[in-house]
Structure 1
Amino acid sequence: MTKNTKFELVENFIVENREAHYRLAYSYVRNKENALDIVQDAILKALKSINRLEEFTYMKTWFYRIIVNTAIDFIRKNQRITVMDDEILNIHLPSLEDDMIDMDLQDAIDQLPPKYKSVIILRFFEDLKIDEIAEITGENVNTVKTRLYAALKKLRIEIGEDFRL
Protein backbone atom coordinates (compact mmCIF):
# COMPACT_ATOMS: atom_id res chain seq x y z
CA MET A 1 0.00 0.00 0.00
CA THR A 2 1.39 3.40 -0.97
CA LYS A 3 1.84 6.24 1.48
CA ASN A 4 -0.78 8.31 -0.38
CA THR A 5 -3.33 5.50 -0.08
CA LYS A 6 -2.65 5.20 3.66
CA PHE A 7 -2.97 8.95 4.02
CA GLU A 8 -6.30 8.97 2.15
CA LEU A 9 -7.71 6.14 4.26
CA VAL A 10 -6.75 7.85 7.50
CA GLU A 11 -8.01 11.20 6.26
CA ASN A 12 -11.39 9.71 5.27
CA PHE A 13 -11.69 7.94 8.62
CA ILE A 14 -10.95 11.15 10.53
CA VAL A 15 -13.43 13.20 8.51
CA GLU A 16 -16.21 10.59 8.65
CA ASN A 17 -15.88 10.21 12.43
CA ARG A 18 -15.09 13.77 13.43
CA GLU A 19 -18.11 14.11 15.76
CA ALA A 20 -17.10 11.01 17.73
CA HIS A 21 -13.52 12.25 17.98
CA TYR A 22 -14.65 15.65 19.21
CA ARG A 23 -17.06 14.04 21.70
CA LEU A 24 -14.26 11.88 23.08
CA ALA A 25 -11.90 14.84 23.51
CA TYR A 26 -14.69 16.96 24.98
CA SER A 27 -15.50 14.28 27.54
CA TYR A 28 -12.02 14.85 28.99
CA VAL A 29 -11.83 18.63 29.08
CA ARG A 30 -15.44 19.89 28.98
CA ASN A 31 -14.47 22.88 26.85
CA LYS A 32 -15.16 23.37 23.14
CA GLU A 33 -11.89 25.11 22.25
CA ASN A 34 -9.72 22.73 24.25
CA ALA A 35 -11.48 19.71 22.74
CA LEU A 36 -10.94 21.09 19.25
CA ASP A 37 -7.26 21.69 20.07
CA ILE A 38 -6.92 18.12 21.31
CA VAL A 39 -8.52 16.71 18.16
CA GLN A 40 -6.31 18.91 15.98
CA ASP A 41 -3.18 17.81 17.85
CA ALA A 42 -4.28 14.17 17.62
CA ILE A 43 -4.79 14.47 13.86
CA LEU A 44 -1.33 15.97 13.47
CA LYS A 45 0.20 13.18 15.57
CA ALA A 46 -1.71 10.55 13.58
CA LEU A 47 -0.56 11.92 10.25
CA LYS A 48 3.04 12.12 11.46
CA SER A 49 2.95 8.53 12.70
CA ILE A 50 0.89 7.05 9.87
CA ASN A 51 3.62 4.53 9.07
CA ARG A 52 3.13 2.89 12.50
CA LEU A 53 -0.38 1.85 11.52
CA GLU A 54 0.16 -1.56 10.00
CA GLU A 55 -3.39 -2.97 10.04
CA PHE A 56 -6.18 -0.68 8.91
CA THR A 57 -8.71 -2.81 10.77
CA TYR A 58 -7.22 -1.24 13.93
CA MET A 59 -7.54 2.34 12.69
CA LYS A 60 -10.32 3.22 15.16
CA THR A 61 -8.46 1.97 18.22
CA TRP A 62 -5.20 3.46 16.95
CA PHE A 63 -6.72 6.91 16.54
CA TYR A 64 -8.76 6.73 19.78
CA ARG A 65 -5.55 5.90 21.61
CA ILE A 66 -3.92 8.99 20.12
CA ILE A 67 -6.89 11.15 21.18
CA VAL A 68 -6.99 9.72 24.72
CA ASN A 69 -3.24 10.18 25.20
CA THR A 70 -3.39 13.70 23.76
CA ALA A 71 -6.28 14.58 26.09
CA ILE A 72 -4.49 13.18 29.14
CA ASP A 73 -1.32 15.08 28.19
CA PHE A 74 -3.37 18.25 27.79
CA ILE A 75 -4.93 17.79 31.24
CA ARG A 76 -1.52 17.16 32.81
CA LYS A 77 -0.03 20.25 31.17
CA ASN A 78 -2.96 22.39 32.25
CA GLN A 79 -3.19 20.82 35.72
CA ARG A 80 -6.80 19.71 35.27
CA ILE A 81 -8.04 23.26 34.93
CA THR A 82 -11.04 23.42 32.65
CA VAL A 83 -12.93 26.48 31.57
CA MET A 84 -16.51 26.01 30.52
CA ASP A 85 -18.14 27.94 27.67
CA ASP A 86 -21.18 30.05 28.62
CA GLU A 87 -23.49 27.98 26.40
CA ILE A 88 -22.26 24.76 27.98
CA LEU A 89 -22.55 26.27 31.44
CA ASN A 90 -26.18 27.15 30.73
CA ILE A 91 -26.86 23.60 29.60
CA HIS A 92 -25.43 22.26 32.85
CA LEU A 93 -27.15 24.70 35.18
CA PRO A 94 -29.54 22.66 37.27
CA SER A 95 -33.18 23.07 36.37
CA LEU A 96 -34.46 19.63 37.30
CA GLU A 97 -33.41 16.96 39.76
CA ASP A 98 -32.19 14.79 36.84
CA ASP A 99 -29.86 17.59 35.80
CA MET A 100 -28.37 17.61 39.30
CA ILE A 101 -27.73 13.87 39.11
CA ASP A 102 -26.07 14.32 35.71
CA MET A 103 -23.87 17.11 37.09
CA ASP A 104 -22.97 15.00 40.11
CA LEU A 105 -22.08 12.12 37.81
CA GLN A 106 -19.97 14.32 35.55
CA ASP A 107 -18.22 15.89 38.54
CA ALA A 108 -17.54 12.43 39.98
CA ILE A 109 -16.17 11.20 36.65
CA ASP A 110 -13.98 14.30 36.35
CA GLN A 111 -12.49 13.53 39.78
CA LEU A 112 -11.40 10.03 38.78
CA PRO A 113 -7.72 9.43 38.01
CA PRO A 114 -7.09 9.38 34.23
CA LYS A 115 -6.74 5.59 34.02
CA TYR A 116 -10.24 5.13 35.52
CA LYS A 117 -11.78 8.08 33.72
CA SER A 118 -10.61 6.74 30.35
CA VAL A 119 -12.21 3.36 30.94
CA ILE A 120 -15.54 4.89 32.01
CA ILE A 121 -15.64 7.32 29.08
CA LEU A 122 -14.67 4.74 26.49
CA ARG A 123 -17.06 2.08 27.82
CA PHE A 124 -20.18 4.08 28.62
CA PHE A 125 -19.94 7.25 26.53
CA GLU A 126 -18.22 5.85 23.44
CA ASP A 127 -19.88 2.42 23.81
CA LEU A 128 -16.67 0.50 23.16
CA LYS A 129 -16.14 -3.13 24.11
CA ILE A 130 -13.66 -4.16 26.79
CA ASP A 131 -11.20 -5.58 24.22
CA GLU A 132 -11.32 -2.33 22.21
CA ILE A 133 -10.64 -0.33 25.38
CA ALA A 134 -7.71 -2.63 26.16
CA GLU A 135 -6.31 -1.98 22.68
CA ILE A 136 -6.74 1.80 23.03
CA THR A 137 -5.24 2.02 26.51
CA GLY A 138 -2.48 -0.50 25.83
CA GLU A 139 -3.56 -2.63 28.80
CA ASN A 140 -4.67 -6.24 28.95
CA VAL A 141 -8.38 -7.09 29.13
CA ASN A 142 -8.25 -8.11 32.81
CA THR A 143 -6.65 -4.81 33.78
CA VAL A 144 -9.38 -2.93 31.92
CA LYS A 145 -12.07 -4.97 33.67
CA THR A 146 -10.46 -4.34 37.06
CA ARG A 147 -10.22 -0.61 36.38
CA LEU A 148 -13.81 -0.50 35.16
CA TYR A 149 -15.14 -2.18 38.29
CA ALA A 150 -12.92 -0.04 40.54
CA ALA A 151 -14.08 3.13 38.78
CA LEU A 152 -17.73 2.12 39.10
CA LYS A 153 -17.19 1.41 42.80
CA LYS A 154 -15.61 4.85 43.28
CA LEU A 155 -18.52 6.47 41.44
CA ARG A 156 -21.06 4.59 43.57
CA ILE A 157 -19.32 5.77 46.73
CA GLU A 158 -19.15 9.36 45.46
CA ILE A 159 -22.71 9.57 44.13
CA GLY A 160 -24.52 7.03 46.27
CA GLU A 161 -25.54 3.40 46.22
CA ASP A 162 -28.50 3.94 43.90
CA PHE A 163 -26.17 5.04 41.10
CA ARG A 164 -26.44 3.08 37.84
CA LEU A 165 -24.67 3.85 34.55
Structure 2
Amino acid sequence: MKKKDVNELFVTCMNDHKEDFYRLAFSYVKNQEDALDIVQESIKKALLSIDTIQKSGSIKSWFYKIVVRTSIDFLRKQKKITLVDDQMIDFLSQGKVDAYHDIDLYNTLDELPTQYKTVIILRFFEDLKLEEIAEIMDENINTVKSRLYRGLKLLRIIIAEGELV
Protein backbone atom coordinates (compact mmCIF):
# COMPACT_ATOMS: atom_id res chain seq x y z
CA MET A 1 0.00 0.00 0.00
CA LYS A 2 1.08 3.54 -0.62
CA LYS A 3 2.09 5.60 2.38
CA LYS A 4 -0.42 8.33 1.49
CA ASP A 5 -3.26 5.79 1.36
CA VAL A 6 -2.27 4.26 4.69
CA ASN A 7 -2.10 7.69 6.32
CA GLU A 8 -5.55 8.62 5.02
CA LEU A 9 -7.01 5.32 6.21
CA PHE A 10 -5.40 5.80 9.61
CA VAL A 11 -6.86 9.31 9.98
CA THR A 12 -10.28 8.05 8.90
CA CYS A 13 -10.07 5.19 11.41
CA MET A 14 -9.11 7.61 14.19
CA ASN A 15 -12.03 9.90 13.38
CA ASP A 16 -14.53 7.06 13.09
CA HIS A 17 -13.50 5.17 16.25
CA LYS A 18 -11.98 7.76 18.59
CA GLU A 19 -14.69 7.19 21.22
CA ASP A 20 -14.07 3.44 21.13
CA PHE A 21 -10.32 3.90 21.62
CA TYR A 22 -10.89 6.36 24.46
CA ARG A 23 -13.41 4.05 26.14
CA LEU A 24 -10.97 1.15 25.93
CA ALA A 25 -8.17 3.19 27.52
CA PHE A 26 -10.57 4.51 30.18
CA SER A 27 -11.66 0.97 31.05
CA TYR A 28 -8.08 0.32 32.13
CA VAL A 29 -7.18 3.53 33.97
CA LYS A 30 -10.56 4.86 35.19
CA ASN A 31 -9.37 8.44 34.74
CA GLN A 32 -10.24 10.86 31.94
CA GLU A 33 -6.87 12.59 31.68
CA ASP A 34 -4.89 9.35 31.79
CA ALA A 35 -7.14 7.77 29.16
CA LEU A 36 -6.60 10.76 26.88
CA ASP A 37 -2.84 10.54 27.49
CA ILE A 38 -2.90 6.85 26.58
CA VAL A 39 -4.79 7.51 23.35
CA GLN A 40 -2.38 10.33 22.50
CA GLU A 41 0.65 8.13 23.24
CA SER A 42 -0.93 5.34 21.18
CA ILE A 43 -1.38 7.68 18.22
CA LYS A 44 2.26 8.72 18.52
CA LYS A 45 3.38 5.08 18.56
CA ALA A 46 1.10 4.30 15.62
CA LEU A 47 2.45 7.14 13.53
CA LEU A 48 6.02 6.04 14.21
CA SER A 49 5.27 2.49 13.04
CA ILE A 50 2.59 3.13 10.42
CA ASP A 51 4.83 1.64 7.73
CA THR A 52 4.32 -1.82 9.24
CA ILE A 53 0.65 -1.98 8.19
CA GLN A 54 0.21 -4.66 5.55
CA LYS A 55 -3.55 -4.60 4.91
CA SER A 56 -5.96 -1.67 5.03
CA GLY A 57 -8.59 -3.77 6.83
CA SER A 58 -6.36 -4.35 9.83
CA ILE A 59 -5.83 -0.71 10.87
CA LYS A 60 -8.53 -0.75 13.55
CA SER A 61 -7.33 -4.01 15.11
CA TRP A 62 -3.73 -2.85 14.85
CA PHE A 63 -4.54 0.35 16.72
CA TYR A 64 -6.63 -1.49 19.34
CA LYS A 65 -3.54 -3.59 20.02
CA ILE A 66 -1.45 -0.45 20.49
CA VAL A 67 -4.03 1.05 22.90
CA VAL A 68 -4.20 -2.16 24.95
CA ARG A 69 -0.42 -2.42 25.24
CA THR A 70 -0.01 1.28 26.03
CA SER A 71 -2.71 1.00 28.72
CA ILE A 72 -1.01 -2.00 30.31
CA ASP A 73 2.37 -0.25 30.20
CA PHE A 74 0.82 2.81 31.83
CA LEU A 75 -0.68 0.69 34.62
CA ARG A 76 2.66 -1.01 35.26
CA LYS A 77 4.36 2.36 35.61
CA GLN A 78 1.61 3.76 37.84
CA LYS A 79 1.16 0.63 39.95
CA LYS A 80 3.11 2.04 42.88
CA ILE A 81 1.19 5.32 43.00
CA THR A 82 -2.55 5.74 43.47
CA LEU A 83 -3.67 9.31 43.14
CA VAL A 84 -7.13 10.73 43.56
CA ASP A 85 -8.01 13.51 41.16
CA ASP A 86 -9.69 16.77 42.15
CA GLN A 87 -13.06 15.69 40.74
CA MET A 88 -13.11 12.64 42.98
CA ILE A 89 -12.15 14.67 46.06
CA ASP A 90 -14.90 17.20 45.29
CA PHE A 91 -17.43 14.43 44.75
CA LEU A 92 -16.53 12.65 47.97
CA SER A 93 -16.53 15.83 50.02
CA GLN A 94 -20.03 16.88 48.92
CA GLY A 95 -21.71 13.88 50.51
CA LYS A 96 -23.92 13.16 47.51
CA VAL A 97 -25.98 10.02 47.27
CA ASP A 98 -23.84 7.28 45.82
CA ALA A 99 -24.82 5.94 42.43
CA TYR A 100 -23.07 2.64 41.84
CA HIS A 101 -23.88 1.16 38.48
CA ASP A 102 -22.44 -2.34 38.26
CA ILE A 103 -19.69 -1.42 40.74
CA ASP A 104 -19.18 -5.07 41.74
CA LEU A 105 -18.56 -6.02 38.14
CA TYR A 106 -16.00 -3.25 37.58
CA ASN A 107 -14.21 -3.95 40.87
CA THR A 108 -14.11 -7.65 40.11
CA LEU A 109 -12.80 -6.98 36.60
CA ASP A 110 -9.94 -5.00 38.16
CA GLU A 111 -9.06 -8.07 40.27
CA LEU A 112 -8.70 -10.34 37.24
CA PRO A 113 -5.31 -11.01 35.68
CA THR A 114 -4.66 -8.70 32.73
CA GLN A 115 -4.94 -11.45 30.11
CA TYR A 116 -8.50 -12.29 31.17
CA LYS A 117 -9.55 -8.68 31.77
CA THR A 118 -8.39 -7.65 28.31
CA VAL A 119 -10.35 -10.40 26.54
CA ILE A 120 -13.53 -9.69 28.53
CA ILE A 121 -13.32 -5.92 27.95
CA LEU A 122 -12.70 -6.30 24.22
CA ARG A 123 -15.46 -8.89 23.83
CA PHE A 124 -18.26 -7.44 25.94
CA PHE A 125 -17.48 -3.74 26.33
CA GLU A 126 -16.02 -3.11 22.86
CA ASP A 127 -18.21 -5.76 21.19
CA LEU A 128 -15.36 -7.19 19.12
CA LYS A 129 -15.44 -10.63 17.53
CA LEU A 130 -13.15 -13.35 18.83
CA GLU A 131 -11.13 -13.25 15.61
CA GLU A 132 -10.50 -9.52 16.05
CA ILE A 133 -9.48 -10.03 19.68
CA ALA A 134 -7.06 -12.77 18.64
CA GLU A 135 -5.50 -10.41 16.11
CA ILE A 136 -5.27 -7.57 18.65
CA MET A 137 -3.66 -9.78 21.27
CA ASP A 138 -1.42 -11.68 18.81
CA GLU A 139 -2.87 -14.94 20.09
CA ASN A 140 -4.43 -18.04 18.60
CA ILE A 141 -8.23 -17.87 18.52
CA ASN A 142 -8.45 -20.97 20.72
CA THR A 143 -6.27 -19.23 23.32
CA VAL A 144 -8.63 -16.25 23.25
CA LYS A 145 -11.64 -18.55 23.65
CA SER A 146 -10.10 -20.33 26.62
CA ARG A 147 -9.09 -17.03 28.25
CA LEU A 148 -12.61 -15.72 27.77
CA TYR A 149 -14.09 -18.87 29.29
CA ARG A 150 -11.64 -18.92 32.20
CA GLY A 151 -12.01 -15.20 32.79
CA LEU A 152 -15.80 -15.41 32.94
CA LYS A 153 -15.60 -18.42 35.23
CA LEU A 154 -13.18 -16.58 37.53
CA LEU A 155 -15.44 -13.52 37.42
CA ARG A 156 -18.44 -15.62 38.51
CA ILE A 157 -16.45 -17.21 41.33
CA ILE A 158 -15.19 -13.89 42.69
CA ILE A 159 -18.64 -12.28 42.53
CA ALA A 160 -20.27 -15.33 44.16
CA GLU A 161 -17.72 -15.27 47.00
CA GLY A 162 -18.45 -11.59 47.52
CA GLU A 163 -22.17 -12.30 47.88
CA LEU A 164 -21.52 -14.88 50.58
CA VAL A 165 -19.73 -12.40 52.80
- Pairwise TM-score range, normalised by the shorter structure: 0.7 to 0.9
Q: Quick one: which amino acid aligns to residue 17 of structure 1? A: H
Distance 1:80 1:69 in 2: 19
Provide, for residues 103-130 of structure 1, a one-character-per-residue CA deviation record: whole Å limited to 9, x for no partner: 1110110111111110010001000111
Moved runs in structure 1, 4+ residues, more than 4 A?
A: 80-90
Residue 17 of structure 1: SS of its match in structure 2? Answer: helix
Residue 66 of structure 2: SS of its match in structure 1? Answer: helix
Q: Is 1:40 matched up with 2:37?
A: no
Give matches, 1:142-161, under 5 Å.
142-160=142-160
Q: Quick one: which amino acid aligns to residue 140 of structure 1? A: N
Give matches, 1:122-141, under 5 Å.
122-141=122-141
Q: Quick one: which amino acid aligns to residue 48 of structure 2? A: K
Give the gaps of 5 or more residues in structure 2. Answer: none
How high is the TM-score relative to the length of structure 2? 0.86
Aligned CA distance change for structure 1 residues 84 and 56 (closer, same or farther; 3 Å): farther
- Does the 8 A contact of 1:130 with 1:144 survive in 2? yes
- Does the 8 A contact of 1:25 with 1:38 survive in 2? yes
Q: Quick one: which amino acid aligns to residue 13 of structure 2? A: F
Give matches, 1:11-160, under 5 Å.
11-79=11-79, 81=81, 83=83, 85=85, 87=87, 95=98, 99=100, 102-160=102-160
Paired residues in the alignment total 158
CA RMSD of aligned residues (A): 2.3
Distance 2:119 2:81 in 1: 21
Task: Name the larger-Rg structure.
Answer: 2
User: Percent identical across equivalent pairs?
Assistant: 52
How high is the TM-score relative to the length of structure 1? 0.86
